[in-house]
Structure 1
Amino acid sequence: MVAAKIQLLMAIGVALSVVQAGPVDNSNGGNRPVLNNKAICTTQECVVTAAGILNDMDHSADPCQDFNQFTCGGFDENNEIPSGLGRIGYIELLRKANNRIIRSIVDVSHGKSPKPAPGDVASQANLKKLQDLFASCMDEPSILKSGRKPLVDSLQIITQSLPASDAPASKAILSKALGQMMKSGVQYSPLMQLTVEAAVDDPLANEIIVYEYGLGLDLPADYKNAELVRKYTELASMMFQIALGEEDVVNRAQPLTEKDVEKKWVDVTKEVVGFESELAGIRTPTDELYDPSQYNNPRTVEQLNGLTPSMIDWSILLPEALPAGVNYTRPIIATSLPFLTKLDALLQKTPARTLQHYFSWVAIQKIGTHLATPYSQPLDDLYTARTGTPIDAQAERWKSCASAVEATLGQMAGHYYVEEAFKGKSREEVIKLIDNIILSYEKTFPTLSWLDKITREGALKKLKAIVKTVGYSTVYPDVASSVSLEEFYKGFTVESGDYIGNRLRHASWAYEKSFEKLDMRTDRLTMDYMFPSHVNAYFHSSFNTINFPAGILQGVFFGVNYPEYVNYGGIGVVAGHEIGWWTNETSQAFKDKSQCFVEQYGNFTVLGPDGKQHNLNGQLTLGENLADNGGLKMAFKIWQSRFKSDSYGRK
């Protein structure tokens, strides 16, 4: 997927293309700009684009000494990182612009909402659902009035399903409670996560996969950061006090502080963080999880029980976790067998009381973020501690509410987003560009001496079979069809005065919806990993599809009336990145060739919060690094080929 560094790669791609390109115009009588005509392109799009490129550059910098400063120095000088963000670039700017478009769709008071055609009942219903959800988010008085009750109600269910005890929980009780929580609306699974994904041996079929899960901090290594753990413990104890303390914090004259937390909640939090630290200690290293030969472990229920004989009964857990009516009898994919064995050992020595508190903390983290500010403030502070990015307390409410609509009804909102922002021949032009990038890779493969004949033929076959999904999904659901969207979301009920209930209902609906795919053959034209307004892209290796939401096919990345060299320097680099996302398991020769990338990026350092320089993990980032470099190379190569073949205005 597109990383933040794509901004730099795109800038380099544009700069390289501009350096080599001649002027362009539309005088060839066609609809596309000619690559090298004597006339100069003076359309509004060209003028604005050229000005943007020039403003983003630092013309005083020597590109041979500091190419980053040469291409991006002007942008850095003219843009500050705004409050609430950890970085600023064209990805963030485009997301901001797209968020405004979503608002224009869902905010009735803004006066720009689309008008369904007369008699289009499905579109009318869809717009109402979108607008009711947005209105419920904007209704801060009702959210404040609901107080902490939605969270307390969920915690009561947890304490009833997993009674506290100084002894370990019984296998039957724990298995049932774990399954129930996986299926609930807390949006977060403790210990493990069940998902439905493409089968490795038959990508058009789907299977259940079990992932390691359940840490409150982002990475296992974070639990070795003493200051972060201290802050985590402090803020978690405040949330326990807010959720379960005798006093409702909204009635306090002053905000809750660490000194106000009762000792029992401090002790509870220390138990939870101690358990999470042990859970982090048994997690599989991330780079090992990228190895298909390691994570593809099909196991029957009986075999899974053999891995967790003392504490988890999968014949109890699965019926509790699976939605009603789902009868799954095929093997389950366990991404890490050692983790399950170690988890069983950890649970054997963990009191049921600790697990009850841990399960409660999982719910607090997710439900608490939807509560009014007096109840959620410690979680905002925790986000800042984890990411180093403060929450923008002054941000207008509509921004987070528009994002909430996108997160819950993204395909439905995408229908109207596409009508507004992805018009004309944009889709066709992007497909042509992707086809050219693929052709560039196809011509390159025969020149790679380290590829043996079988591997080369297989790579070419896979390359030619790539399916391109551009703009939006046309199946499951068909974003262009209001009827399809209404049917897709019909199980998700939205109430205009119940924002927290809406979020919990959506979490439960989304979980159940994912299991529908178990009995369906996958249509490769679906784009269910992203919504149309997303500023991102991805290559689905199992489906062999490249996917570009309409959200990234905007601004500096792509314009249907831009000169080709700009589009190749922008979205062409992204396309090359996604197509070139190799795994490091292709062959031993590939491993040998890629080792230089591992060493190069492994020597890069970043300044950590501890004031020390830390090396990047070149092995962990290998796939992204290869994709970045290959994408830039291929985009420039195919544009050069088109430039050299253009006969207009050649001297």
Structure 2
Amino acid sequence: MPYCGVVGGGFMNKQEIPVDQATTDYFNILFNENKEAIREIVDPSFGKLPPTPATGAKDEADASQANLQKLQDLYSACMDEDTLIKTGRQPLLDQLQIILASFPPITTTSITNGVDTADNKEVLTKALAQLLKQGLAGFVNVAVIADLIEPLVHTLQLKESGLGLPSKEYYQDIKTVQIYEDTIAQMFQILLDDKDVAVRNQPLTGADVKQEWKDAAKNVVRLETQLAAIGTDLMDQYDPIKANNPYTLTQLSDLVPSVDWRLLLAEILPQGITNTRPIVVQSPRYLTQLQTILQTTTLSTIHYYITWVAIKGLGPNLGLPFRRPLQVLNAALTGTSPDLRPIRWRECVTVINTNLGDMAGHFFVQELFKGNSRQSVISIIDSLLQTYAQTFPTLPWLDDPTRAGAIQKINAMQKLIGYSTEEPDVASSISLQFYYSNLTISKFDHFGNQIRYAVWSKTLEKSQLDQPVNQKKMQDPPQTVDAFYHSPSNHIVFPAGILQSPFFHVDNPEYLNYGAMGVAAGHEITHGFDNIGKNYDYIGRVKNWWTNETEKAFNEKAQCFIDQYGKFSIKGPDGKDHNVNGQLTLAENIADNGGLKQSYRTWQARFLSDPSGVTYKNFKLPGLEKYTPDQLFFISFGRIWCSKERLEWLMQLIRGNAHPPWRFRANGSVQNSKEFSQAFECPVGTPMNPIQKCEVW
């Protein structure tokens, strides 16, 4: 059988990567289709009108009309590139003036070791605070999260940040670092120099950039390289036990005295909001080494570094001539052509999904998540949860206390399906209008809209600090093409955006829905019991509910996945083989394998209990009669992972993503599936049916 060799061969032969994108796969295809759907809602030229409300629902109708107008104003401002170009660089310069207000003029900062003085502590702290208030972050970020021990209580988390390249490994890549350094120098020249070089009709060359900006860029990259060198490994950042380090402000001040932490919180917290709990420090080791770096970095370098953080974060909101070097950098990192002009409507739909995502999602759901789709998805997930609960007692390596904890956790697992019903209720135009009421949108000020959104969203986030955690709120808008497991609330989340073909359709036979969306649901459920999720109990507390014996057995089984996926490799742009990090991707690999196994078992039990198809739909599809339902289940699974990527994008996945490249998510899982080998009669010892198979759940 062809599927005994590789999954997704037909896709590789027929599909081409869009010239402006780094990859094509069914996630990305659906993502683009959802963007098209949002465009038809928010682009005034499509003539979208709010649906006719029920009799007597005038308030809802008025709110719907106002919401649609707000969406269309945001989109129109983004699409107005002529105004963006005419406005020039001034909006960003105005924001730089605000962010850098605490700094003395750059000409006075020729000192070599002054950031630890009292005056400079205040300078640095206020600048960091201004970045945070605008949704940006220097070498640290401060976020409001659910407390790891008390998940219904909000707390502050201090995380490491500050890198302009995708991950710390990139700072060892000489070619990429040089492109990055050139980008910084060019953006400094365009935005900070007296001569407006952005009006040129061709990109800047090295001769166009003054030496002072080249020197400043070199110092910025040198500082970021130092930050990369002290960066915590991603695996440790994801580990909730290693990342749970409560520090009082006094302890934090002792750790990093170069920052006035009390002043920082006073600057970033909304009026009336105070912090009364210790701050959760993600990596004390990073902060200790950061202090050493700050003590040996000139204030002028810090000045330029913060300037660059602001430019990189806010620069994409300028007209194309003023952000062209950023486009060139992105092209280098993704393997696309630097000469391509970005498709503006796609960029503007991204703005919509970010700034007014739930408001746009209201209309998206009305169009594309109709009928009993939600009930059908809930039925699939409930059947999977039942299978897991029945599976735990059959696993001999689970002892009784750990098994009881696993069953308790699976029984307590909640579902958020389709869209959020709280804060805001996406189904209610009135709720959405109120939720976004403090966010002002102008039809003529795209840059200002982005600043106002950043301030509004960060104010909203920080204002939750003294409020209980709402575990029923879906964090992502309905049109999102993804699914999630949220450990602190023990919830699985499926936005309406991914509940579309080829992942799910209410009229599909079950072998297709379980092979795609069912596996995805099983994947998210399994995350509650992977090497990260297992550290949380049934109500989302970081708590060890495992015995030492079962923990040891789990680690032995997990090592099999580490070894298996660590042997997979991709060919990089440098022509060399680069292996998957089996440890970094362990949680995703355990979830992929568990999801496939449990979804198949769930579907098969339903299929065998109803062979005539009276209760469950498993009808044959025209043209596919030669395949058995079992084979079509796995074909449906394989199809969702079909992908084609540029080498530069694959390197981003290899270096800094917890997921392995898509091809390995498919092939790695079926290599471990006895049912797959049986369905396609794969001989023992072939690539898709190796003798050694890995299994946890």
Q: Same fold (TM over 0.5)?
A: yes
Per mean C-alpha deviation after superposition, the further-off stretch among 605-614 and 100-109 is 605-614
Instruction: State the distance in 1 between where 2:515 and 2:319 align.
Output: 44
Instruction: State the distance in 2 between where 1:321 and 1:179 align.
Output: 9
Task: Assess if the C-alpha contact under 8 Å between 1:495 and 1:502 holds in 2.
Answer: yes
TM-aligned CA deviation for residue 409 of structure 1: 0.5
Q: Which residue of 2 aligns with 1:264?
A: 212
Q: 1:319 aligns with which of 248, 260, 266?
A: 266
Q: Given the alignment of the two structures, is residue 63 of structure 1 paired with residue 3 of structure 2, yes or no?
A: yes
Q: 2:567 aligns with which of 603, 615, 622?
A: 603
Q: Given the alignment of the two structures, is residue 128 of structure 1 paired with residue 128 of structure 2, yes or no?
A: no
Instruction: State the distance in 2 between where 1:289 and 1:180 align.
Output: 23
Instruction: State the distance in 1 between where 2:283 and 2:192 align.
Output: 36
Instruction: State the distance in 2 between where 1:276 and 1:523 align.
Output: 37
CA 348–418 in structure 1, closer or farther in 2 if over 3 Å, else same: same
TM-aligned CA deviation for residue 489 of structure 1: 1.1
Q: 1:373 aligns with which of 317, 320, 335?
A: 320
TM-aligned CA deviation for residue 144 of structure 1: 0.9
Q: Within 5 A, what are the aligned runs for 1:153-302?
A: 153-163=94-104, 164=106, 165=109, 166=111, 167-169=113-115, 170-171=117-118, 172-185=121-134, 187-302=135-250
Q: Which residue of 2 aligns with 1:58?
A: none
TM-aligned CA deviation for residue 121 of structure 1: 2.3
Please tell me the root mean square deviation across aligned C-alpha atoms, in Å: 1.7
Q: 1:306 aligns with which of 250, 254, 263?
A: 254
Q: Which residue of 1 aligns with 2:482?
A: 536
Q: Which residue of 2 aligns with 1:593?
A: 557
What is the CA deviation profile of residues 288-314 of structure 1, one whole-angstrom value per residue up to 9, with x for unaligned ones?
A: 1122221001111111111113x1121
Task: Assess if the C-alpha contact under 8 Å between 1:438 and 1:463 holds in 2.
Answer: yes
Instruction: State the distance in 1 between where 2:50 and 2:37 align.
Output: 11
Q: Which residue of 2 aligns with 1:35?
A: none
Q: Given the alignment of the two structures, is residue 432 of structure 1 paired with residue 392 of structure 2, yes or no?
A: no
Q: Given the alignment of the two structures, is residue 520 of structure 1 paired with residue 467 of structure 2, yes or no?
A: yes
TM-aligned CA deviation for residue 176 of structure 1: 3.0
CA 115–435 in structure 1, closer or farther in 2 if over 3 Å, else same: closer
Q: Within 5 A, what are the aligned runs for 1:510-589?
A: 510-528=457-475, 530-581=476-527, 582-584=529-531, 586=534, 587-589=551-553
Residue identity matched to 2:162? G
Instruction: State the distance in 1 between where 2:185 and 2:407 align.
Output: 56
Residue identity matched to 2:129? Q
Q: Which residue of 1 aligns with 2:602?
A: 638
Task: Assess if the C-alpha contact under 8 Å between 2:220 and 2:305 holds in 1.
Answer: yes
Q: 1:617 aligns with which of 568, 581, 589?
A: 581
Q: Which residue of 1 aligns with 2:666?
A: none
Q: 1:341 aligns with which of 288, 311, 321?
A: 288
CA 391–434 in structure 1, closer or farther in 2 if over 3 Å, else same: farther
Residue identity matched to 2:595? G
Q: Given the alignment of the two structures, is residue 389 of structure 1 paired with residue 329 of structure 2, yes or no?
A: no
Q: 1:137 aligns with which of 74, 78, 83?
A: 78
Q: Within 5 A, what are the aligned runs for 1:399-438?
A: 399-438=346-385
TM-aligned CA deviation for residue 116 of structure 1: 5.7
CA 253–613 in structure 1, closer or farther in 2 if over 3 Å, else same: closer
Q: SS of the residue aligned with 1:523?
A: coil
Instruction: State the distance in 2 between where 1:556 and 1:158 align.
Output: 46
Instruction: State the distance in 2 between where 1:225 and 1:647 align.
Output: 57
Q: Which residue of 2 aligns with 1:7?
A: none
Instruction: State the distance in 2 between where 1:136 and 1:294 align.
Output: 44
What is the CA deviation profile of residues 359-418 of structure 1, one whole-angstrom value per residue up to 9, with x for unaligned ones?
A: 000011011111111111100011112232346835542222122111110011101110
Q: SS of the residue aligned with 2:228?
A: helix
Task: Assess if the C-alpha contact under 8 Å between 2:269 and 2:463 holds in 1.
Answer: no
Q: SS of the residue aligned with 2:148?
A: coil
CA 391–550 in structure 1, closer or farther in 2 if over 3 Å, else same: farther
Q: SS of the residue aligned with 1:476?
A: coil
TM-aligned CA deviation for residue 649 of structure 1: 6.9
Q: 2:23 aligns with which of 75, 87, 95?
A: 87
Give the aligned length.
583
CA 266–396 in structure 1, closer or farther in 2 if over 3 Å, else same: closer
Q: Which residue of 1 aligns with 2:9?
A: 73
Instruction: State the distance in 2 between where 1:647 and 1:357 align.
Output: 69
What is the CA deviation profile of residues 249-297 of structure 1, one whole-angstrom value per residue up to 9, with x for unaligned ones?
A: 2433543222210111000000100011011111111111122221001
Q: 1:483 aligns with which of 413, 418, 430?
A: 430
TM-aligned CA deviation for residue 611 of structure 1: 1.9
Structure 2 residue runs without a partner (length 5+): 535-550, 615-697
Task: Assess if the C-alpha contact under 8 Å between 1:531 and 1:549 holds in 2.
Answer: yes
Q: 2:394 aligns with which of 436, 440, 447?
A: 447
TM-aligned CA deviation for residue 420 of structure 1: 0.6
Q: SS of the residue aligned with 2:70?
A: helix
Task: Assess if the C-alpha contact under 8 Å between 1:197 and 1:206 holds in 2.
Answer: yes
What is the CA deviation profile of residues 435-478 of structure 1, one whole-angstrom value per residue up to 9, with x for unaligned ones?
A: 11111111111111111211111111110111111000111111
CA 630–345 in structure 1, closer or farther in 2 if over 3 Å, else same: same
Q: SS of the residue aligned with 1:569?
A: helix
Task: Assess if the C-alpha contact under 8 Å between 1:183 and 1:321 holds in 2.
Answer: yes
Q: Given the alignment of the two structures, is residue 97 of structure 1 paired with residue 33 of structure 2, yes or no?
A: yes
CA 422–584 in structure 1, closer or farther in 2 if over 3 Å, else same: same
Instruction: State the distance in 2 between where 1:132 and 1:221 align.
Output: 41
Per mean C-alpha deviation after superposition, the further-off stretch among 344-353 and 389-398 is 389-398
Percent identity between the aligned chains? 44
